[in-house]
Structure 1
Amino acid sequence: MFKKYLLVGLSLTMLALGGCQATQSSQPTHENAPIIANKKQVKKTTAILAEKAFKSGDNAYLEVNHNKSTLDVRQWQTERIKYGALDDLNRTTTNTAFLSKETLGRSNTRHRQTWQPTGWHNQPVMIDSQRVFPESRGHLIAYAISFNFNRDGVFQKGELGSSNNPKNLATQTVFSNQRTMQIFEDQVRQALTQNKKVIYQVTTVFRGDELMPHGYWVQAISTDKKLNFNAYVWNVQPKMQFDYATGRGHYDGSMAVVDQYAGNPYQN
């Protein structure tokens, strides 16, 4: 009798194990699986970055984790963008993309952007006798490297899903968008033109319930590990101060930002 129960027990155990294996194999594929490997770590790092304060004269960005990405290349096999859901205040969160040469395009093909992200005002300001619009609708995943995706981030030839996508646009200063972010977007673009595959992630960093992000946490790694960076881009503008709770700004001639972009000299 004991042997009979033992055999029955072993049979049930094997069925249970078989069921576990079947359940694992029926899990969503990488196309639908969570893309952010460690959401707790992302949340923790974002909270730490949110408490940092920019001081006039500081560099335009900070290195994070000694400039080494924490992204896991093993999670990705095909082109995909995981657009993070807007939060309770309608703010962008974290977008992660697996990019290739197939996702490159030209920025002059995009349609007019009409979405107004949180904190969007873009009121003109007089700086050095010039009328300046200091804000832009900044793409988290840059438009020119995110072609052929639909609005859900699925790779689909001919689609322009990052164009005017609320989950991919945030209120960003022109300086941060066109200067500092270019440092990192250019690295990704160059790697893609060399036929590398790149995982690229951007998180908007808000403080409390403020509507304009204080900065953008950017990191990327290529599958061959030769491209690898991790940085925090300040959402600031020379000669401007912003109320991040509302997104409104005003002229401040004493506000200085060290321009680390190697391109043409910055002009307001």
Structure 2
Amino acid sequence: MIGQEVNWEGLLMAKKGRSKKQGGVYSAIAVVVAVAAVWFKSGGDVSTTLNSLTSELTGNSANTAVTTAKVAKSGYGGLSKSDYQKLANLEFKSGEKAYVTVNHNHSTLIKNAWKSNRVIYADLDDLNRTSSSNTAFLEKRNVANDSLRVRQFVEPTAWHYNRRNGEQIYNRGHLIAYSVSAGIDQNGHYNPSNKSGDQNNPKNLFTQSAFSNQKIQTIFESKVRSALRQNKKVIYQATPIFKGDELMARGINLQAISTDGSLDFNVYLYNVQPGYQFNYANGRAKVDRGMKVLE
């Protein structure tokens, strides 16, 4: 372009304009892809999709409610009273995930506190609820033989029998799972003659939705079992979260840490059931086919 004056400023402005347009197009495509992904996951339900997107955009999760968790004032740490209240104030909305992380998924248990194989079972509160933390100090010998399970008969607060059509809504949820409590008696001591895991222990049961117990809690219990089978020592804590004087827990905080730090999680599971709404004051359920829960 010899002999011609080049309008460099104009060229730069034009290039910036194209970049902004391209950036806007890419952003729009990203939004469409995100909406489509949530839509597909929700099964095409409009309200579920909107609630899920709102949750993502506003950060409505225990991770924002308990961004930096406090360590309980005990010799082994765990869930603090103030963080318990923060979890109790969380409200589940249809279309959200069944669980959220706490403290960026890092346990507040103190891994060096593992001294001996035992379980600390908290006493029932004045309403006969398991509203405090049960904390287990576990090792490989605590992995239980599933064939030794017996029928559960304890009725925790807010317990109701499942409906006549056989659909499971309620479970007797263990705080410290049967599968990782072999040899532990109801006083929390290890007894080698006791081959089964914890069963029918009022201090270790709460009324839990079948979905939360069978679909979600088992995910984290399997992580603990896997670590134990690798001969790791694990501290595992479970805390049902009650709001006020309600008899049914709103959810349960599960956290664990191995002494070598390879296992480390901290989550809050909502006590919810797809297709039903609970009255947490008494545990009664009513049909609500609009209630969607994402795994």
Cα offset, 1:46, TM superposition: 0.7
Aligned residue in 2 for 1:166:
202
Q: TM-score, normalised by structure 2?
A: 0.72
Q: 2:169 aligned to 134, 142, 153, which one?
A: 134
RMSD over equivalenced CA pairs, Å = 1.8
State how far apart, in whole Å, the 1-side matches of 2:73 and 2:145 are.
Answer: 27
State how far apart, in whole Å, the 2-side matches of 1:231 and 1:199 are.
Answer: 15
State how far apart, in whole Å, the 2-side matches of 1:194 and 1:72 are.
Answer: 20
Q: 1:230 aligned to 266, 275, 282, which one?
A: 266
Judging changes above 3 Å, is the alpha-carbon distance between structure 1 residues 41 and 202 closer, same or farther for their aligned structure 2 residues? closer
Q: Specify every segment of 5 or more residues in structure 1 that has no aligned partner in the other structure, as ranges.
A: 1-33, 260-268
- If each structure's helix is expressed as a fraction of its own residues, which one has the higher value? 2
Larger radius of gyration: 2
Q: Specify every segment of 5 or more residues in structure 2 that has no aligned partner in the other structure, as ranges.
A: 1-71
Q: Is the CA contact 1:36–1:96 (under 8 Å) kept in the aligned structure 2?
A: no
Aligned residue in 1 for 2:231:
195
State how far apart, in whole Å, the 2-side matches of 1:88 and 1:39 are.
Answer: 24
Q: How many residues are matched?
A: 222
Judging changes above 3 Å, is the alpha-carbon distance between structure 1 residues 151 and 243 closer, same or farther for their aligned structure 2 residues? same
Aligned residue in 2 for 1:112:
151
Cα offset, 1:158, TM superposition: 2.6
Give the AA of the match of 1:49: L
Q: 1:204 aligned to 226, 231, 240, which one?
A: 240
State how far apart, in whole Å, the 2-side matches of 1:41 and 1:199 are.
Answer: 13
Aligned residue in 2 for 1:46:
84
Aligned residue in 2 for 1:240:
276
User: Share of identical aligned residues, percent?
Assistant: 48
Cα offset, 1:116, TM superposition: 0.4
Judging changes above 3 Å, is the alpha-carbon distance between structure 1 residues 137 and 35 closer, same or farther for their aligned structure 2 residues? farther
Secondary structure at the counterpart of residue 85 of structure 2: helix
Q: 2:114 aligned to 53, 76, 91, which one?
A: 76
Aligned residue in 2 for 1:256:
292
Misfit runs of 4+, over 3 Å: 34-41
Task: Kindly provide the CA deviation profile for residues 216-238 of structure 1, in whole angstroms up to 9, marking residues without a partner as x.
Answer: 00000000000000000111111
Q: Is the CA contact 1:122–1:248 (under 8 Å) kept in the aligned structure 2?
A: no
Q: Is the CA contact 1:35–1:96 (under 8 Å) kept in the aligned structure 2?
A: no
- Which structure has more RCO (C-alpha within 8 Å, separation ≥ 6)? 1
Q: 1:101 aligned to 140, 146, 165, which one?
A: 140
Judging changes above 3 Å, is the alpha-carbon distance between structure 1 residues 35 and 199 closer, same or farther for their aligned structure 2 residues? farther
Give the AA of the match of 1:138: G
104-113 or 50-59, which moves further after superposition? 104-113
State how far apart, in whole Å, the 1-side matches of 2:236 and 2:79 are.
Answer: 17
State how far apart, in whole Å, the 2-side matches of 1:123 and 1:194 are.
Answer: 38
Cα offset, 1:80, TM superposition: 0.7
